[in-house]
Amino acid sequence: MAEYTKAQLTELIIGKLNRSFGRSVDDATPLHMFKACALVLRDIMAQHQMETSNQVWEKQERQVHYLSLEFLMGRSLEKNAYNLGLLDTLTETLEDLGFSAADLFETEPDAGLGNGGLGRLAACYLDSLTTQEIPATGYSICYELGIFKQKIIDGKQVELADNWLGLGDAWLIPKMDEVEEVRFGGHIEDNWVNGQNKPKHVGYTAVLAIPRDMEIAGYKTNHTNTLRLWDAKSPAPVDMSLYSRGEYLKAVEQQAMAEVIAKVLYPDDNHYEGKSLRLKQQYFFVSATAQSIVRQHRAQYGTLRNFHQKHVIQINDTHPTLVIPELMRILLDVEGYTWDEAWHIVTHTVCYTNHTVLAEALERWPQNLIETLLPRIWEILKEIASRYQRELEGYFGGDMNRVSRMAIIWGGEVRMANLCICACQAVNGVSALHTEILKQDVFHDAYLRQPDKFKNVTNGVDHRRWLAQVNPKLDALIQDCTGNDKYLLHPEAIRDLEKFQKDKSVLKQLEAIKLENKRKFAGYVGRESGVMLNTDAIFDVQVKRLHEYKRQLLNVLHIISLYQKLHDEPNAEFTPQTFLFGAKAAPGYHVAKEIIQLINSLAAQISNDPICKDKLQVVFLENYRVSLAEKLMPASELSEQISTAGKEASGTGNMKFMMNGALTIGTLDGANVEMHQQLGDENIFLFGLTADQVNDLRNQGYHPLDYYQRNQTIKRVVDQLSSGFSDGSSYADLAKRLLFGAGGSPADEYFLLADFDSYSQAHRRALEVYANREQWNRMSLINIARSGIFAADRSIQDYAHTIWNVPTRND
């Protein structure tokens, strides 16, 4: 922890303003002040990081390298100040200098280097790795443009560029002495030296990978880790002869072609150029990373024979899989190891976290693309694949049906998940149900062959950020009840709160905190959008990526049924409900974008209908992101976790809602299963088919048209989609998808109509409990008290003990 007085911090900030920006406090803008504060904290963390590196070097500790194409970091100023123990001091210092700390924290753009749960998980894990004092480095790309900014225009999503680096680069430290070269294209020539082939890569295009390091502070520790973000530049100088002839674009073509690698997160890949760029991104960052780790290891130990004893490389989903053949390339071609020696090192170094059971999300690359872009990697992949296939054929007695499912190269494609299964020393799912599905279905044959390779590490979230920091009054109540702040470093200690479940005074305080958070959030939404939320209504919230399996459409169908019921019986008793949605749809995902438009059509019709006033409200929160989630989670009361059972790997939003006292309405899917184990039937609103029941119904033949014809409520709701809304928009295509299927997808692929009645009944149960304030508040307290197991600290300890074999701070 950093020990600085207000006077010392003031002196450091004023010094930064003077030296870095030529400004005094009086002429400094909020942007100058933000950057000055960021640079001061960066300097403190950089000093701690140097001390940490020296200790790791001296003790020769095993290091964790966490590779992920996404790190959804959000904002860093407040978080870093909090972890360093400087938040109160910094806040007072800024106020004394004439700046609002709250406004200054709001000026920071989100570092949106991620798409959703995968990237936010990686960010939470960096915090816990550091807090647990595990020597670790995260690796990704320094995207110039993060996940797009979402604007809703005429109800439709429009994507705008998100240039976060204008202010965000204050956190980044360029390391020009640690630049690596990454090679694309060209061809391979045999090069025999002393009877050994050292293949020569010729005719390639080189791209320089420049590290821009972001320091990561842990909570109440001086241990500091690093997130290394690779920027892409061309080594070729601008062609001045072309420039002087006026061919300006041609002169800078090579620079532009190199820099496009780090330009944008997830280029659209439904065309060849997009696929090529995405593959370049993946290889660029893993090649630079592998070369960097090897270079540092060789400098310390002089040999790579102990590499696997000193390093573990954890790949977060399949995007970094090419680190496997790249590490083989370095060991074979640069270090001169035999195949068996290199393979032993790689297979005892790399571990794989699977994040999906969706077949379309298990990456497959056209082999001709790899062959063209990465010729040496292709040669190594062919060798790995042929050796593995021979092993499989021997094991399965020539059963080519099973061999084909597990093959790495098959049908002109390279299957990245199968490469991970082959080469990684451990494969883990991210919830108990998800891991079982991997073992019994997705990777069943691989599991039968090597059962010990498969592990489970249920996801977790940074509870210091997602509870203590974003909900300070709840944090104060927890500490007041438990008598200490132990839960911040030992999240299981939050269980002590449960002793107060019958304490009416505590329950009343909990309710008051929730109401204050709702009003605060309503004020924010009003200022940002002009929409006034009804804080007397229950805040029912579904925020996550827009994907059909996450079933935002089921939520919409239920709201339409409520709307129709209100029109049928406008004077009937009706619990006021405010439904909040937040979601971004992938730019090329047409159905998801149509569902966003549907939500906005429904919201507009309800908003303009006097019958719904103070009873029913639907609001789509534009540009959902980490900083918006930090305001929303403390205000939420009912958490929608309603994916089709068997489809969601884990979910992490469900855990954040739980920690903040929202109750869950959900299916037995992902980590909801473990939440249910912690809470029991009585503290969660479960509904719908289980994963096994979904499979059984699919196998028997699921006919959604039967539900439509037999159930009048469902028929009216689906017909409303077709007939459309007051804005003139019709959603007949969505209705058709539900009843008859479309574009090769089966009818109602995600079983919305099958679960509709059960979902509606769960909502009715939830509203009955909501009317009993004491019961609701008790359930809310129990949810908070039993949420400790879903802290990222627990997840990281599981990884450390069961996969990485490294000690933690709490050991």
Catalytic residues, by residue number, are 355, 544-545, 550, 652, 656
Of the candidates 196, 193, 69, 91, the residue with the CA atom closest to the CA atom of residue 142 = 69
* 3-class state of residue 195 by DSSP: coil
Residue 727: helix, strand or coil by DSSP?
coil
Closest C-alpha among 279, 248, 239, 287 to residue 261: 279
Residue 408's φ and ψ, nearest 5 degrees, are -85, -45
Residue 532 has a CB neighbour count (10 Å cut-off) of 12
Strand order across the 364-366 sheet: 364-366, 413-415, 409-410
* 300 closest CA partner among 50, 48, 60, 53: 60
Q: Pick the closest to residue 112 from 623, 581, 626, 542 (CA basis).
A: 626
- The phi and psi torsions of 378 (rounded to 5 degrees) equal -60, -45
First to last CA, the chain: 20
Alpha helices in 680-751 (DSSP H): 691-700, 704-710, 712-723, 732-740
Q: Quick one: which H or E segment has residue 510?
A: helix 504-529
- Give the rounded distance of the alpha carbon of 237 from its chain centre: 37
Residue 199 makes CB contacts below 8 A (sequence gap 6+) with: 188, 189, 190, 191, 333, 376, 379
Of 582, 591, 490, the C-alpha closest to 545 is: 582
Give the C-alpha separation, 75 to 88, whole Å: 17
Residue 723: count other Cβ atoms within 10 Å of its Cβ. 11
- CA dist., res. 164 & res. 110, Å (int): 7
Residue of 8, 30, 6 lying closest to 17 (CA atoms): 30
CA atoms within 13 A on the CB side of 804: 27
What the block records as the tokens of 23 is 């400004």
